[in-house]
Amino acid sequence: MFTKTKDYSMYVAGEWAVGESEARMEATSPATGERIGTVPEGTREDVERAIAAANEAWSGWANLSAFERAAAMIRIAEVIEERRDDLAETLTLDQGKPLATEAYDEVDELVAYFEMAGADATRLEGAMPPSVDADKRVMLYRVPRGVVGVISPWNWPYTMPAELIAPALACGNAVVWVPAPSTSVCAVKLAECIVDAGLPSGVFNMITGPGPVVGDEVAANPGTQAVGFIGSIETGQKVAARAAGKTLLLEMGGNGPMVILDDADLDAAAEAGLTSAFLGAGQSCTAGERFLVHERVYDAYLDGLGSAIERGIRLGDPFDPITTLGPLNNEPTADKMDQHISDALEGGAELVSGGARAEGFPTDLYYRPTVLGKVTAEMRVSREETFGPIVPATVIRDEEEAIRTVNSSPYGLLSAVFTRDLARGLRFAEAVRSGWVNINASSNHWESHLPFGGRAGSRSGVGRVGGRYAMETFTELKTVIVSL
C-alpha cells in the first residue's frame, strides 16, 4: 500500500511547534516497513516551556465549573468519533494492530474514556464532617493538584494516555504529555483531537521525543505537581525516583497468571487463552504470560488450546479484515521473544507450536503464535514480562501450588483462574496478591471504569487508573472551616 509521509509537530503553549532544536525522529511502520513521517525530537527546553504554559493556564481552567469542563471532554469525544477511520488506520500503520479486529475497538474505547471523564467530573463530591465547635462548619473540597505530567506507552497508544489525560483534565488540572517515541504519529493524531475541541491555551501540551530526555524532565521538573506513568517496571522506577515527593500514579508491568484448575471448563478456558495470550500480539501488561495448568487436565487443555489457535488466530497483514494477529511493534520486543524462547528450550521446555518469527512479511516483526510446554519457574519466560504472542504452560499439582506460584512473583497486577466451583475461585481471588482477579474470564478482560493497578508490595505500581479512581490521585482534599 502507498503511505503518505508527513512531518508532524508537537503542541506547546497553545501552538503547534517543531521544537527548540528542530531535530526530528523518523516514524516507521512495523506493519509495512515504510517510513510514515517524522516527529520533533523534543528537548528539555521544550518541556520547560510546556510546563510554564501549563502552570499559567491551570488555575483559570480549574475555576471553570465541572460542567463546563465536562462539556469540553464531550467535545473531544465527538471529534474522535468524527475521525474514527483515520485514527484506526493510523493505529494499524504506526502500532501494528489489526484494523478490523483491534484498532477500531481501541478508538471506540478512547471515545468512552473522555465521555466517562466528563460524567465523573460532575460527580466529584466533597464532604461536611462535624466540627468540635457548634458554631463552626467544616467543608472538604476536592481540588485539582495543578499540572499533571503524563508519560505513556506504545502498546495502547490511544487509550493508555487517555486513562490519565481525560480524568486529569476533567477535574481541573493542566496536562503535559510525553508519548512513547515508537507510536508518536498516533500521539499527534490524538493530540489534534484534543486541541481541535477548543481547550484554553496551555491547558494541554504534548511533546514528542526520547523518554530519557523529555520524559525525565516531566518527572523531575518542579513545575509538575503529579505524575502519571504507564509502562515498564524499569522505566517506572526511574520515573518514581526522579519525581520523588510528588503524587504518583504508576501502572507498570505484569506477568499475569492464567490458572486452569482440574474442574475448569476447558473449552471456555481455551477460548479465553486466545485473548489472554494474543490480544495486541501479547503486548499487554495483563497478558497471560504464565499458564499454570493442573496436571489432571494439562494435556487436554493444551490440545484444546491448540485447536482454538488454529480456528481463531490468523497472523497476517493487519489491514486484512481476517487478520487477528499483527506484527510486534518494535525490534527490542521481538528480540526479547527470541531470547525467552531460546532460554526456555535450553532449559528443557517443550516447543508445542510456533517459536520463531514468521517469514514472507514486509518486516521481521511478525511472530508466529507460540506455545511452550513443561515451563519451569527458573526460566526467563516465567520470571520476566515477555510481551509477545506466547503461552508458557507450567504443570501444577493443586490449588495451593497455584497460589504459592502466583504469590512468589514480584508482579501483582492481574491474575485469572478457571474453575466451576465459585467458592474455590473466591478463595483463590482472596489469597493471591494481585490488584485484580478474574474468575472464569481472560486475564485480558478488564473494564475501563473500574479501579486497576498493582497490589501493594509488588513491582506493578501504585495507585489506580480507571474512571473516577484516577481522579482521586489527580485531586486532593482542601479543608475550609467557617465560623458562624
Residues tagged active-site = 251, 285
Residue identified by cell 525490534 is 331
**Separation CA 316–CA 407 (nearest Å):** 37
- Give the end-to-end CA distance of the chain in Å, rounded to a whole number: 73
Nearest-Å Rg of the Cα atoms of the chain is 23
The 10 Å Cβ neighbour count of residue 52 is: 18
> Phi, psi at residue 169, to the nearest 5°?
-65, -45
Count Cα neighbours of 322 within 13 Å in the Cβ-side half-sphere. Answer: 3
Beta bridge partners of 350: 373
390-396: strand order across its sheet:
350-353, 370-373, 390-396, 290-294, 257-260, 414-418, 436-439
Longest dimension (CA), the chain: 79
How does DSSP assign 45-90, residue by residue? HHHHHHHHHHHHHHHHHHTS-HHHHHHHHHHHHHHHHHTHHHHHHH
Question: Which three cell numbers mark 274?
Answer: 486466545
